[in-house]
Amino acid sequence: MIRIIDMRESTSGNKSFAIWDTVVDRFVEVDGVQSFDGCHELVEMYKKDKTGRRLPELGRVVGLLPDWAR
């Protein structure tokens, strides 16, 4: 299961969030990054990621994002 973690109070970004994978109990890392400043940044990181790790499906993650993170 994927959870969206609100990181706005911990960072300077007004759309900052992280993605927590409850199956493996760790943050999802995309192209070496664990927190994102909005949906646009997440999508760009997915496009660049060359690590070969299994990542959650982008459409599924974007669908879980609250309005403030879009």
Residue 64, CA distances (Å) to 20, 39, 61 in order: 12, 11, 5
Domain span at 21: 2-69
Q: Give the single-character DSSP code of 12.
A: S
Predicted confidence at residue 16, as pLDDT, reads 94
Q: How many domains does the chain have?
A: 1
Can you give the pTM of this predicted structure? Answer: 0.86
Q: What is the percentage of the chain residues whose pLDDT exceeds 90?
A: 66
Predicted confidence at residue 53, as pLDDT, reads 75
Instruction: Show the low-confidence residues of the chain (pLDDT under 50).
Output: none
Per residue in 28-47, pLDDT (tens digit) is 999 889 999 999 999 999 98
Predicted confidence at residue 3, as pLDDT, reads 96
